[in-house]
Amino acid sequence: MKEDLSRLITLQEIDLQIKKLDDELASGQAEILKRQASITEKKEKIVKHSQTIENAEKRRKELEAEIESEVAHIKDRQSKLMNVQTNREYQSLLKEIEECKKGNKRREEEIVLLMEQVETLQKKVAEQGNVCTSEEQLLVEAEAKTALLAQETQDKKGKLEKTREQQVKKIPDNLRRRYDQLLAKRNGLAITGVINGVCQGCFMNIPAQQFNEVLKGEQLLACPTCQRMMFHQTQAKED
């Protein structure tokens, strides 16, 4: 049993190395996706701002056309003032002219606000564009680095998997099946050390009698809390 236990411990060490490599690959890919998402988000904002600018410019032109039309209308009303026959008609024309002028003032104020909005958004578009350019350059560098790391990691993983195959052949089928089941259910940790009566898989105390049996190493015991297989691990090894 001690030999089987030793082989299982070695197999677990190999699997932990493989898991670490997989995590490194996943981390690198996650960073790439994060950078891509950031760039996409900024580009979407640029599109949104650009659309707002376009709408604002369209509205500004409409207002300018309305002002031009109203100015012509005011001139027409002013020319008619010279030919009015009654005071009532005269006051009516004056009121109409005044309303037209007030309308144009409101349009001019709206145009100023639109121009300020456009100026602000244009600055944001330029800033976001510059940031996107920088982030895209960093993304290219990160992708190249990740691709290189992935190749190196796959090479290391390939060697570890060959070593794993050889190690698995040394372990009885019943233990291997139990190990594989725990490996899948317990986040890649099927067999774990016990230090001073504490399982290092779930960090829960195990019964004193069971710990004594673990110390002997004559049988393969399971943690009563997490069901991982256990072996005695000295404090020195943990450090």
Q: What would the pLDDT profile of 120-133 be if each residue is shown by its tens digit? A: 999 999 999 999 99
Q: Minimum mean pLDDT among 30-44, 73-87, 124-138, 225-239: which range?
A: 225-239
pTM, rounded to two decimals: 0.69
In whole numbers, what is the pLDDT of the chain averaged over residues? Answer: 93
CATH fold of 21-168:
Helix Hairpins (1.10.287)
Residues carrying CATH 1.10.287, the chain: 21-168
Tokens of 38: 């950031």
- Enter the tokens of residue 50: 């650009």
Percent of the chain clearing pLDDT 70 (strictly above): 98
- What is the predicted pLDDT for the residue at 234? 82
C-alpha distance from residue 91 to each of 84, 85, 100, 124 (Å)? 10, 11, 14, 50
Residue entry with tokens 């944001």: 124
Hey, how many other C-beta atoms are within 10 angstroms of the C-beta on 193?
Answer: 19
231 bridge partner residues: 193
